[in-house]
Structure 1
Amino acid sequence: MALLKNLYRYTVLIITLFLLVDAKCTYSRREKQLNVTCRKESHFPADIPPNAYSIVLDECKIRTLQKSDVKRFTELRIFHIAGNRLRTIDVDVFSDNRKLEVLDISRNSQIKSNVTKTLVCNLAKMNRQMRELYLSVLKIDKSDISNIIRCLENMQLTVLDLSSATNGPLNDYTFSRMTTLQVLKLGSIYPVNLRALYNLTLLNTLRLSDTKLNDIPSFYDEDTNTTLLPGLRVLYLDSNYIQTLPNRTVGLDNLEFISMRSNRLRRISSTDMSRLSTKLNTMFLNINKNIRIEQCSFSTSVVKLELRNCRIMFSRKVRYIFSNLTKMTGLSLSKNYFDQSSDVLGMLFRGLTNLTHLSLEDCSIKRIPDTTFKGLHNLVMLTLSGNRISILNANFFNDLRSLQSLNLAGNKLTTVQKDVIALFPPSLNVFDFSGNPFVCTCDLLWFMQLFRNDRFKFLKNGTNDAYKCYNPPEMQGRNLTSFNITKADCTHLSFGIKLTIILSSVTSVVAILTFAVYRFRWYIGYGYFLLRAKRREARERSDQNQYAYDAFVAYNKSDLTWIQDKLLPLLEENERMRLCVHDRDWLCGRDVIDNIVQSIESSRKTLLVVSNAFAASQWCQLEMTLAQHRLLAEDRNALVLVLLEGIERRNLTPRLILQMRQQTYLEWTDDPVGQKIFWKKLLRSLKKPSSSILHSSPKCNQTARDDGPKDEPIETSSGDETRP
């Protein structure tokens, strides 16, 4: 009879499991209790067995929850439906689940406040077995929160989570009747009124995150001169504005755990810590930027400490801040900075003989001193990912006898020496070398064999191609698992030796040539400029192009008097040169830029008459720019620069400064003798050379031009310039 009963039971179980093969839920049994966990469900699963003890539907997409969905689960003790998209929920949905002890409907922000209130109050009337209730991140109005708490007084709750669900301050004695509470999580209440926690003598965990606290509040009751929460062991004060630790005792004598992540702490000293609590063994101080820690600030009772992302600069001045923490087992210093020029890493962990977990990821570490891990015999997990380590030294791991997991992902390792791994302790069986730029040559062959060995577990950071070859080029991007070179191939590879010799020879030749170039750099430079001058001279003398003008004169309208009285009479009347002047020679109705380009292209040279007005004019600057472009394009002396006056600093543009530095220019003077020299130099610059620029006569070869037109008067117009 017993055999038939067992056979029937197993048959029902097999059929049930067969029907659930295609479901998105997983099933497990623990102490004969059926636990169900579902993911990615958009509706409440209809095929969950009615004897389910625990149902977890977190992070699904369920929009409605009806009484008919959960009515059949008469043995249900734990129900989670957090992080869904609930909009509609029956207020008496759990009226038939009289054994329900844990309920989590957190992070369903679309549920209306009055629905939440009615749901909780109905639950309090029907179910006295409830022990844990999670209502975090729900939209609950100020008027409803007090009613909800009043309803909860009928329960014997030990855990209540109202994180980010409350708004505004709480009244005195708000939770005074909930004497069974052991864990209370509050958020978005400000100002904080600790008298709301009166009479919670069993409370051991309190969360006051995101409450705009500027200081750690005092837990002393001034009326009775005793602490409000004598049993408090765990305190969360994350995401506040706390800058300093208390300067007086605050009634937290039994506090063992404190989390102050994302605050504004600036300084920590041993005196501050002793006022807070002498029994602290766990501290989370992550994301307190630019915090300054004095020597021996932490109590010797500290076992676990996190200082992640605090922008601490660890230098020789703070190399002993952990020296008294001989009981510490866990330490996280990730996303901080270490002075690479000092031996701070070699001294920082001295004396931490009980340390089991150490995290130093994303600290920009390039070099690890040999004494860094000295004495850490009990270290089990070491994380060094996200640094710049390129070389592993076998001496690093001499004292790491208990090491089981090593994370060196995302560093600069190109290879891993065989003698380094050979000295790893026998307990080390989990590696993470992913994201390193490996060079897949014969030097990495033994590591590939280790990679394929079942004795070691290589983590991959969630990707299947985290171990890739970066060099040589023909192997770039390939997975290490496809690196098929064998030991025999490496033994007979003589090409590598030949390649080494060739590379050494090339390097030697390059070094000799580099030394020779540096030794004779002045002679080489002189020869280069001499050849360039001769080439420009030859190109200009052999230029057979026919130009309409000898020079295009670029000037500002304010300098027209000098152009008419000085420049044109000498060059056009005396020297029979033909100049292009925009006031006289440009075609009306044509675009200004087209006129500029046409004038430069049809002139053998461009004469820039520079004054302060010229330097301040955008159109004059454009003419200079286009002329410079022609100079670069044709590589000949086609630009002549004349300064009529000293240019003020505010008018000097970068382009004009560059032109004045690179090219010799003429300066107009009022001195009669200087003017004669000025005109001679200008004629030599504008006329086409007839002999070598190195041996030419100082006198210009003046030839009358019969085809030059007679000078015509230049018409003037009002305004600064005729151009826009």
Structure 2
Amino acid sequence: MCTVIQCVELSRLLECDIQYDVFKTITIANCSNRGLTSIPKNIPSHISVLDLSLNELSEIDTNSFVNYTDLQVLNLTKNQLNSLSRKAFKGLSKLSVLDMSHNKLDLSQEYSAELFLPIQNLTTLDISNNMNQSGDVTGFNYPDHAISVLRELSFLAIDIMPTPKFGSGFSRITNLKELHFQSCYLKRLENKTFLTFSSSVEVLTLRNCLLYFVTTEVDVLLPFPNLRVIDFSGTFMHLKPALQLLNPYRYANMTTINFGRVSYPIRDSSDLPFSLTITSDIIKHLKTICVKNLDLSENGIVEYEPGSLFSFDHPECLRHLLFKGNRFVLYNLEKRDELNLFFKKAIRLKYLDYSFNAVNYNIKKSLTSNVNLGSSEASYVFLPTSLETLDISYTVLNTVPAVWLIVPENNNLTFLDISYSNTTLFMSIPNIQLTTFISAGTRYDFAWHELEKFQNSSLKKIVLKNAHINNGIRTYGNRFFKDLASVVSLDISQNDIWYFTDDLLKPMSNLACLYLTQNLLSSIPVQIIGHSYIKTLDVRNNLLTSVNSTITNWADKMEELHGMTLNLDGNAFECNCDTVDFIRWIQTTKVNLDNRSYICKLSNGTVIDTLIAYNSLYDLFADCKNTMWLTLASSLLSTFVTISLLLVVYSKRWKIIFSVYGIIRRTVEREVRKSYQYDVYMSYEGEIVIWIKDVLVPKLETEWGLTLCIKDRDFLSGTSLADTEAESIQNSRSIIFLITPESKSSRDCLFELDRAKYEKITKNLERIIVITKGITIIDIPVDFSYIWNYAYLIQWPKDPGNLDDTWRKLEILVTDGFVAN
């Protein structure tokens, strides 16, 4: 459709925006998504482009466009069209592009012989995604009597029915270059299916035919000798017969062959197995073709024989090669020389995708990594110098011994994705040119060693999601991102980060995009204001209760300088007197926010959103000013009292000094002798006590040698529960609040919380630990917000396989790094 490069808005009518493209000297009427039920009449007659998409049009009457004789582009996509008058397009002799996709126009009924006569100069016609599933048995006849008049047509997008029959009229469209079949209900492709089409077709797409298994005859593509692009991705037909369709193109030059995801596990037989081994016979046609882009992704390939998958006659033609989502080993000793020879000859290969390949067994003929690279048994594969993008993410490849991928010194590799890989695969990159490095799901120590290689490089984008960066920050501090001044985009989401060291981001002086979603930040790190190039800051799903004025003022300044996007959704915002300025800023700032109505809690626990709070500022926070004056008066009074006390203290300073010395001495002596009855007091509610007994007690008491206070086990019946709880908390070194859904309505938990705050303030309680289990952070009772400044939060993972870091963190908190033997 028309792309406006530079537009001067002329007027805004009731129904449409009228714009003028200065460079193309055309007038555009944008009537998209206006709820129109009929063609507008009050727009200029000289328009060249009319966009009526996303409306409620159900029919087009006679002479609907007769006034728009200069119209060149008409967009009617995504309406409710089910009826076309025979003279619907009368007067549109200059029309070249017509899009009626995503409507309800029946191919067998709505296309009369006269329909397209007024628009015979049409070059692009899209009538796809209109048909529902057909139950035809004998075949579906396409309206060639209507479409055949479009002799200038070069682009046709249309739905394909289970057993299509294309009449002889299609042979008259001799300029047709692109043929796209969309909503696909195909059952069978016969040698005669496309016989009536012109041989001029160069692009053929037949994607996502999933309703039936599509059977094919081997010469079905013979009518298209000039084909350059074949895209059958997602069509349920199996890779083996799909590759046999390439017979007419042996030794031809092609741009794209996309047979990605044409095999499915539901079709698994001896002749067409889903677990497919590529043989030389299967690949016999493909290997002869000089193809630039080849996609064989997600086809159940588990193995390839020597002289098959990498035995192309013209590997120098390849630019993009995709094997994503299969299950085969790319390299072993038997195929090493063949693979290295292929990469040596693939001098134009820019993109290699070997992601999502799961091979979770030992390979008998794998290479050895304990020899020199020059040895005949060396475990190496040399990648092409031309390679720019390498994706080996989500790959499970545990060869024994390991394998090396060698990137040549004079390389062009700029993109590397190794996310969530579990491999014995190593890479050697002697001269790093990377601009994008993605390593999500790895360990922080691995990320640290990899980042060291990129120091003072041209790296622009780093993605380290779910990589335990919280431990890396604790271990390496400000050195974690050292010497990475070139980085523009950093994504460290999903890392349980709850604090930033003071200068963690300081080395990244050019940082423009920072993604911190799904961490444990209680505030936006103030060091961010030292970065003046930030355009995107994403802190969704953290523990923010507000955003302070330092950050909001900085965000406004960034918006004025170059535009600013700030994503805040999913935080535990509070709406109270302290956050009134933030609530007002959300609605008044020009910063691009992801929302203007964030969920927040009032002081009384009521859940509303910030838009409601903004519209009710005076009702909700009317007492804030009274509180301010009361605070001021209290401050003045306390200042007067303080000065008076200071005068008294000064006059009796020596007596006070000796008294304080005596108190300190007695206190120190008492603290030295201080001992606790319990190491940990457990606060919980309901049936979770069973989990405490089965999981926590064996770990903390049996393995770590600690003493727990568990009220269901250790409290005597008949005594006051409140007194016993208070005394037990007083005699405990630490307290653990185990927060579950049952805790939200527990009064006993609130009493224990108040007592813990008292003991913490009096310095009797060393640590307060909050463990959440089966509850999200934002659902934690609001009363706990008053202890976040000195409490430690642990989110208990749902996956039992991710407990090591959780146990380690809990051990440090309750034992100070010491575990009794």
Tell me if the contact between 1:468 and 1:477 (Cα under 8 Å) persists in the aligned partners: yes
Q: Indicate the residue corresponding to 1:102 in structure 2.
A: 203
Structure 1, residues 272-312: CA drift from partner, whole Å, max 9, x if none?
55479843211111221599999x978521111111223x1
| Unaligned stretches of 5+ residues in structure 2 | 1-44, 49-64, 84-93, 156-176, 264-275, 361-366, 370-377, 635-666, 672-676, 678-715, 721-821
Structure 1, residues 219-267: CA drift from partner, whole Å, max 9, x if none?
7549989834232221111222468999323353332211112112679
What SS does structure 2 have at the residue aligned with 1:373? Answer: coil
* Larger Rg belongs to: 1
Matches of 1:60 and 1:369, distance apart in 2: 59
1:207 aligns with 2:340: no
CA separation of 1:89 and 1:194: change in aligned 2, threshold 3 A: closer
Structure 1, residues 196-232: CA drift from partner, whole Å, max 9, x if none?
4232321111112334223446675499898342322
1:140 aligns with 2:274: no
1:452 aligns with 2:587: yes
CA separation of 1:444 and 1:632: change in aligned 2, threshold 3 A: closer
Matches of 1:191 and 1:316, distance apart in 2: 32
Tell me if the contact between 2:540 and 2:567 (Cα under 8 Å) persists in the aligned partners: yes
Q: Which amino acid aligns with 1:168?
A: T
Tell me if the contact between 2:79 and 2:103 (Cα under 8 Å) persists in the aligned partners: no
| RMSD of Structure 2 on Structure 1 (CA) | 5.1
Matches of 1:35 and 1:125, distance apart in 2: 29
CA separation of 1:255 and 1:298: change in aligned 2, threshold 3 A: same
Q: Indicate the residue corresponding to 2:528 in structure 1.
A: 396
What SS does structure 1 have at the residue aligned with 2:222? Answer: helix
What SS does structure 2 have at the residue aligned with 1:392? Answer: coil
Structure 1, residues 524-573: CA drift from partner, whole Å, max 9, x if none?
x9xxxxxxxxxxxxxxxxxxxxxxxxxxxxxxxxxxxxxxxxxxxxxxxx
Select the residue among 308, 328, 333 that pairs with 2:459.
328
Tell me if the contact between 1:233 and 1:257 (Cα under 8 Å) persists in the aligned partners: yes
Matches of 1:478 and 1:101, distance apart in 2: 55
Tell me if the contact between 1:174 and 1:197 (Cα under 8 Å) persists in the aligned partners: no
Higher relative contact order (CA 8 A, sep 6+): 1
Q: Indicate the residue corresponding to 1:606 in structure 2.
A: none
Q: Which amino acid aligns with 1:452?
A: Q
Matches of 2:416 and 2:183, distance apart in 1: 29
What SS does structure 2 have at the residue aligned with 1:191? Answer: strand
Q: Indicate the residue corresponding to 2:413 in structure 1.
A: 280
Matches of 2:424 and 2:614, distance apart in 1: 47
Q: Indicate the residue corresponding to 2:313 in structure 1.
A: 198
1:356 aligns with 2:471: no
Tell me if the contact between 2:494 and 2:518 (Cα under 8 Å) persists in the aligned partners: yes
Q: CA deviation at 1:323?
A: 4.0
Q: Which amino acid aligns with 1:235?
A: L
1:337 aligns with 2:468: yes
Matches of 2:235 and 2:517, distance apart in 1: 38
Q: CA deviation at 1:375?
A: 3.5
Q: CA deviation at 1:455?
A: 2.1
Q: Indicate the residue corresponding to 2:478 in structure 1.
A: 346
What SS does structure 1 have at the residue aligned with 2:322? Answer: strand
Q: How many residue pairs get matched? A: 496
CA separation of 1:57 and 1:286: change in aligned 2, threshold 3 A: farther
Tell me if the contact between 1:67 and 1:94 (Cα under 8 Å) persists in the aligned partners: no
Matches of 2:488 and 2:130, distance apart in 1: 34
Tell me if the contact between 2:417 and 2:437 (Cα under 8 Å) persists in the aligned partners: yes
Q: Indicate the residue corresponding to 1:374 in structure 2.
A: 506
Structure 1, residues 447-494: CA drift from partner, whole Å, max 9, x if none?
33332236221114xxx85x1112323651334354335589669622
Q: CA deviation at 1:378?
A: 2.8
Matches of 1:5 and 1:366, distance apart in 2: 57
Q: Indicate the residue corresponding to 1:570 in structure 2.
A: none
Q: CA deviation at 1:421?
A: 2.3
Tell me if the contact between 1:42 and 1:60 (Cα under 8 Å) persists in the aligned partners: yes
Q: Indicate the residue corresponding to 1:181 in structure 2.
A: 291
Q: Which amino acid aligns with 1:436?
A: N
Q: Which amino acid aligns with 1:188?
A: G
Matches of 1:174 and 1:290, distance apart in 2: 32
Select the residue among 430, 434, 437 that pairs with 2:569.
434
Q: Indicate the residue corresponding to 1:616 in structure 2.
A: none
Tell me if the contact between 2:249 and 2:285 (Cα under 8 Å) persists in the aligned partners: no
1:34 aligns with 2:97: yes
Matches of 1:223 and 1:421, distance apart in 2: 55
- When the two structures are superposed, what TM-score results if normalisation uses the length of structure 1? 0.57
CA separation of 1:68 and 1:334: change in aligned 2, threshold 3 A: same
Matches of 1:15 and 1:293, distance apart in 2: 54
Q: CA deviation at 1:337?
A: 0.8
Tell me if the contact between 2:461 and 2:489 (Cα under 8 Å) persists in the aligned partners: yes
CA separation of 1:281 and 1:15: change in aligned 2, threshold 3 A: closer
Greater strand proportion = 2
Matches of 2:77 and 2:418, distance apart in 1: 49
Q: CA deviation at 1:135?
A: 1.6
Q: Indicate the residue corresponding to 1:557 in structure 2.
A: none
1:10 aligns with 2:68: yes
Q: Indicate the residue corresponding to 1:164 in structure 2.
A: 261
Correspondences of 1:236-315 after superposition (within 5 Å): 236-241=353-358, 247-250=379-382, 252-264=384-396, 272-274=405-407, 278-289=411-422, 299-310=431-442, 312-314=443-445
Q: Indicate the residue corresponding to 2:784 in structure 1.
A: none
Matches of 1:100 and 1:342, distance apart in 2: 61
Q: CA deviation at 1:13?
A: 4.0
Q: Indicate the residue corresponding to 2:224 in structure 1.
A: 127
Matches of 1:496 and 1:66, distance apart in 2: 79
Q: Which amino acid aligns with 2:466?
A: K
CA separation of 1:38 and 1:262: change in aligned 2, threshold 3 A: farther
Tell me if the contact between 2:395 and 2:423 (Cα under 8 Å) persists in the aligned partners: no
Select the residue among 60, 68, 85 that pairs with 2:142.
68
Tell me if the contact between 1:323 and 1:350 (Cα under 8 Å) persists in the aligned partners: no
Q: Which amino acid aligns with 2:255?
A: T
Q: Which moved more, 1:106-115 or 1:401-410?
A: 106-115
| Unaligned stretches of 5+ residues in structure 1 | 26-30, 503-514, 520-524, 526-630, 636-724
Correspondences of 1:146-157 after superposition (within 5 Å): 146-153=243-250, 156-157=253-254
CA separation of 1:379 and 1:129: change in aligned 2, threshold 3 A: farther
Q: Indicate the residue corresponding to 2:777 in structure 1.
A: none
Matches of 1:194 and 1:15, distance apart in 2: 45
Matches of 1:110 and 1:153, distance apart in 2: 31
Tell me if the contact between 1:157 and 1:178 (Cα under 8 Å) persists in the aligned partners: no
Q: CA deviation at 1:111?
A: 4.1
Tell me if the contact between 1:156 and 1:178 (Cα under 8 Å) persists in the aligned partners: no
Matches of 2:382 and 2:487, distance apart in 1: 31
What SS does structure 1 have at the residue aligned with 2:413? Answer: coil
CA separation of 1:266 and 1:272: change in aligned 2, threshold 3 A: same
Q: Which amino acid aligns with 1:353?
A: A
Q: CA deviation at 1:58?
A: 7.3
Structure 1, residues 133-177: CA drift from partner, whole Å, max 9, x if none?
112233335763453121343864210011233643131662466
Tell me if the contact between 1:43 and 1:63 (Cα under 8 Å) persists in the aligned partners: no
What SS does structure 2 have at the residue aligned with 1:403? Answer: coil
Q: Which amino acid aligns with 1:102?
A: V
Matches of 2:449 and 2:130, distance apart in 1: 44
Matches of 1:202 and 1:112, distance apart in 2: 32
Q: Which amino acid aligns with 2:574?
A: V
Matches of 1:210 and 1:474, distance apart in 2: 48
Q: CA deviation at 1:373?
A: 1.9
Tell me if the contact between 1:256 and 1:282 (Cα under 8 Å) persists in the aligned partners: yes
Q: Which amino acid aligns with 2:534?
A: L
